[in-house]
Each structure stands twice: as structure tokens, then as C-alpha cells.
Amino acid sequence: MQLALPIEWLPASGAAEQLILLLHGDASNGAAMAPLAQALRAEFPQAALLAPDAPLVAPGAPGLHEWFVEHDLCDGNRAERVGTALPPLLDWVRHTQRRLAVGPAATAIAGFSQGAILALETALADDGLAGRVLSFSGRFVRLPTQAPRHTTVHLFHGGADLNIAAAHSRSALQQLATLQGDATLDIAEGVGHVMHPALVQRALFRLRNHIPARTWAAALGALPGLPITPEKH
């Protein structure tokens, strides 16, 4: 799958040390991820930052895209629609990793709303395709029955989100804890369905400071239960 790239920011010099892929929400486009991309670029200047346009044209104004059809979306058809969108996205991620010579462990996939749903599902479909997944105002299609072992999941949500309720992220954290997965949760109370600057700052904090549990396990030569860190902000 070839995707248009409104944002493809590479390091000013030298090879990319990290790859950060940004997936926009429904009825939007890659350019809408510029505020997050700018914050990440300032924090990680040697990262390659890419924000593609989703492949489907969304109804409404020109230039809007979606990863899967949002019209009449419900619990009965969500799994099928996301399942159709996922394989070509996985192929695109792998192709981008090869093209920029950045491995899975140094890859992060971040998404907002529809893009967050896709980002979360990549962690279940191909554990370890990315070392980190960042979900802003997203949800799993279905709560996982097995936690990723090679991907850390960072959940960010507005407590007043009326489009995708924060309860989905709380349930995801609880389920991943039960399955001994590696995950964090940050909730901004009073914030709706937006990528709020406070949550962007928490994402930068998580990327800088959260040491994946698999790293600790490797250092200790053991496979302990993986820590779960819920926090509200």
C-alpha cells in the first residue's frame, strides 16, 4: 500500500535512530498530526516522523480521509471494518521500516481516534512490529485475550470524551494488567475528544522515562509479571 505523506520529517543529518508513525483520526488527514509531530521532533531530533493520509476518502470537505468507513459504524461491524484496514497498514509499516532502516524495537506507532484504534490493533496483530504504541482517544475493537509481549501500550484519553469514552482505555489497562502486559494510562479530566497538549506532554514523558518491562526482564534474566502504571493528570 502506498500512502500520501503530508508529513515526512527526517533528521537534519545522519541516519534515523527512531521511527515514529502518526495515524490521524476519521475525516482528517496526516497534516492534522503536525502539532504532535512538532512536539516529538523537538524531543527526538534523530527520529523520522511520518504522518500519512489514510487510503479512503471521507465524505465531506475535500482532502479528508479515513482508515475505515465511519458511516453507520457499530459494534456489529467494527471488527470487520478494522480487520479489512489492518493488513495493508501492517505492510506499509514494514515497508517503511525497511526503507528507512529502522527496526521494530525503535519504532513507535501513535494514533488519534480511528488512528488510535488501528495503532492498538497492530500490537495485537503483530506483537513487536513496534516497540511502542501510543493511543490518543482510542480503543481496542475487542479487549485482548493475550497481551503483547514485545510492544508497550501507552493510553491517553480525555475524561470527558463523548466520542470514545475514557472507560475504554480504563478497561484496556485493567485487561492488560490481568494479562501481565506492559501498559500505562494517562487521563486528562475535563478534556473531550481532542489530542490535548497536556496529553501530548504526557506522551513525551512516557517515551522519555518509561522503561519497558521486557527490558527489565532481559536485564534480570527472568520473566516477571510486567508492571502496569495507571495515572491521571
Annotated catalytic residues are 113, 161, 193
DSSP 225: P
Q: What DSSP string runs through 68-105?
A: S--TT--TTTHHHHHHHHHHHHHHHHHHHHHHHT--GG
Beta partners for residue 157, in sequence order? 187
- According to DSSP, the β-strands at 56-57 and 65-66 are antiparallel
Q: How far apart are CA 149 and CA 139, in angstroms?
A: 19
Residue 162 class from Cβ within 10 Å (0-12 exposed, 13-18 middle, 19+ buried)?
A: exposed
- In Å, what is the CA distance from 20 to each residue of 97, 131, 145? 10, 10, 27
Of 62, 153, 51, which Cα lies nearest the Cα of 96? 51
Instruction: Assign residue 174 a region (left: φ > 0; alpha: ψ between -120 and 50; beta: otherwise).
Output: alpha
